[in-house]
Amino acid sequence: MIRLEPNGIPPARLSLEGILPEWLGGMAPADIAALPVRCGARSLPLGEFFSVARSGAAEEALVIVGDARLDDVAAGMTRGEILVEGNVGASLGRGMAGGRVTVSGSAEWGVASAMRGGEIIVRGNVGDQLGAALPGEQVGMSGGKVVVLGNAGSAAGDRMRRGLVVVAGTAGPFCAARMRAGTLVVGGALGAHPGIGMRRGTLVALDGHPPIPASFALSGTHNLVFARLLARSLVGCGLERLLPRLERLRRWAGDLAVGGKGEILVAN
């Protein structure tokens, strides 16, 4: 296991892109410390900001003592495990294809953008565009699982293609906007305009009183097999007290304004 301890507060935002357990496994601490990272507009050695230590048997695991200025943690990760003690900055797990990331604190915007596989757990809150397409991109998250035990900002799941996103707390406006596929579950209140532009996919609102857009049509109350299967995958996601609400769901189909075949499932 490799552990990165900060030497102090970085003078600018620090990108940890490329600092992945799958690449560091056979490297000595001194070689890891020499790896270049981007701090603001400059490229500097990792050792300028972190002390590097190795402990235990060789395995693909990395522990980072976090800071809100640390961006791109686990970006492009394909295997192994990253544990973050504290907070992280933007683009956590961007382009991630495998492995597991656990953050004990909160994360900023762009968590799981372009994610294709693997698992991310954030025990605090996340910023805007969780699992979403970033500005200028057409595709958001297309695989994997993300669990947020706190709240999410705006545009969670925007242009999402596949995968599962679970937010135990609240989600801001435009949740599941322009969604193409996948499942997004929110345990708390939803902001304005959920599902706007949705073509396919499922938004599950366990709070029971979301602001349904006028372009969605009520299609009855159902006991869905899908909901029972979903409940199994939500065990341990901080929603245990809400899982009985999945037994009966009101279904709203849409977004009919774009000919969409998506759905918002609302717990009774």
Of 141, 192, 187, 138, nearest in space to 164 by CA = 141
143 shares a domain with 48:
no
Do 15 and 68 fall within a single domain?
Answer: yes
Residues 165 and 260 in one domain: yes
Q: Is residue 91 part of a domain?
A: yes
What pLDDT is attached to residue 58?
Answer: 55
**The last residue of a domain, from among 79, 95, 114:** 114
Number of domains in the chain: 2
Q: Are residues 149 and 258 in the same domain?
A: yes
Binning pLDDT at 50, 70 and 90, where does residue 247 land? confident
- Residue pLDDT, tens place only, 177-222: 999 999 999 999 999 999 999 999 999 999 878 899 999 999 998 8
> Is 108 in the same domain as 159?
no
Kindly report, residue by residue over 131-174, the tens digit of the pLDDT: 999 988 889 999 999 999 999 999 999 999 999 999 999 999 99
Please check whether residue 19 lies inside any domain of the structure.
Answer: yes
For the chain, the three-class secondary structure string (H helix, E strand, C coil) is CEEEEECCCCCCCEECCCCCHHHHCCCCHHHHHCCEEEECCEEEEHHHCEEEEECCCCCCEEEEECCCCEECCCCCCCCCEEEEECCCCCCCCCCCCCCEEEECCCCCCCCCCCCCCCEEEECCCCCCCCCCCCCCCCCCCEEEEEEECCCECCCCCCCCCEEEEEECCCECCCCCCCCCCCEEEECCCECCCCCCCCCCCEEEECCCCCCCCCCCEEEEEECCHHHHHHHHHCCCCCCHHHHHHHHCEEEEEECHHHCCCEEEEEEC
pLDDT, tens digit, for every residue of 82-140?
Answer: 999 999 999 999 999 999 999 999 999 999 999 999 999 999 999 999 999 998 888 99
Q: Which of 83, 114, 145 is the C-terminal boundary of a domain?
A: 114
Boundary of a domain, candidates 74, 90, 114: 114
Domain assignment present for residue 86? The answer is: yes
Q: Is residue 197 part of a domain?
A: yes
Is the domain of 110 the same as that of 134? Answer: no
pLDDT at 57: 60
Q: Are residues 129 and 109 in the same domain?
A: no
**Are residues 183 and 69 located together in one domain of the fold?**
no
In a domain, 119, yes or no: no
**Is 199 a domain residue?**
yes
Residue 139 token pair: 């595709």
254 and 138 housed in the same domain: yes
pTM above 0.75, yes or no: yes
Domain extent, residue 80, equals 1-114
Assess whether 142 and 258 both reside in one domain: yes
In a domain, 120, yes or no: no
